[in-house]
Amino acid sequence: MRRFVVAALVFIVCGFWCFAFTLDLSLDSFVLKDVALRSPDYQSGLQVAVLLEKDFQIRVPLTVTYKKNLVCFEGALKVAYYPFSKGLFLSLSMLDMAYLYNMGERSARQYTLNEIEAGWTFFIGKRFFIEPSVCFRDPSGTFTDEYEELRGYFNSYSKIRIRLLCGYRLFEEAR
């Protein structure tokens, strides 16, 4: 997990200094649903994104799912494509890993995952944005055992996930 985080940060920084138009930071507000419904497990996340060209964006979402003695850290490297330069986007995970820690037994397990996502980005002013999206986990059926095992631990870990990111554009370079 440490190697993945370091590699993702190096990739973002290099991309930011060499190519970036924008640098976005957003929070997944999906945890509010879990709190409101008093779910036995909670899922929250953070995403950093770098826009390389006007149509392509590199995203690094980090998600934490937790319940009593279990914690699942999920990190991914995604490529998002904006076919109309803004608004609608399609995203594909290039690398998606999850680490499940059982604090009661002090054990850890690693999972390889994949997902695709489609959504829309709405800007409020120049810097704030809201991004509703639908995420399809394991669309090819390649990692069914991994997803079934994670779903056995966490009720909120479904195959289809609705996300609502609320974010802020930290930096925008005019070219």
Residue whose C-alpha is closest to residue 67's, from 147, 165, 152: 152
Q: Which of 15-19, 30-34, 49-53, 141-145 has the lowest mean pLDDT?
A: 15-19
Looking at residue 144, what is its pLDDT?
A: 86
d(CA 48, CA 165): 11
Beta carbons of 150 and 100 less than 8 angstroms apart: yes
What confidence category does residue 117 fall into, taking pLDDT thresholds of 50, 70 and 90?
very high
DSSP 52: -
Going along the chain from its start, the domains and CATH numbers come out as 2-172 (2.40.160.20)
Residue 35 has pLDDT above 70, yes or no: no
Residue 169 has pLDDT above 50, yes or no: yes
Looking at residue 153, what is its pLDDT?
A: 84
> Would you say the pTM of this structure is higher than 0.85?
no
Q: Identity (one letter) of the amino acid at 11?
A: F
Q: Which of 6-20, 26-40, 104-118 has the lowest mean pLDDT?
A: 6-20
Q: What is the pLDDT of residues 43-85, one digit of tens each?
A: 777 888 887 777 888 888 888 888 888 898 999 999 999 988 7
Residue whose C-alpha is closest to residue 9's, from 67, 84, 62, 52: 62
Q: What is the pLDDT of residues 77-116, one digit of tens each?
A: 999 999 887 889 999 999 899 999 988 777 788 888 899 9
Comparing 153 with 91, the larger pLDDT belongs to: 91
What confidence category does residue 16 fall into, taking pLDDT thresholds of 50, 70 and 90?
very low
Looking at residue 173, what is its pLDDT?
A: 62
Average pLDDT, the chain: 78
What confidence category does residue 129 fall into, taking pLDDT thresholds of 50, 70 and 90?
confident
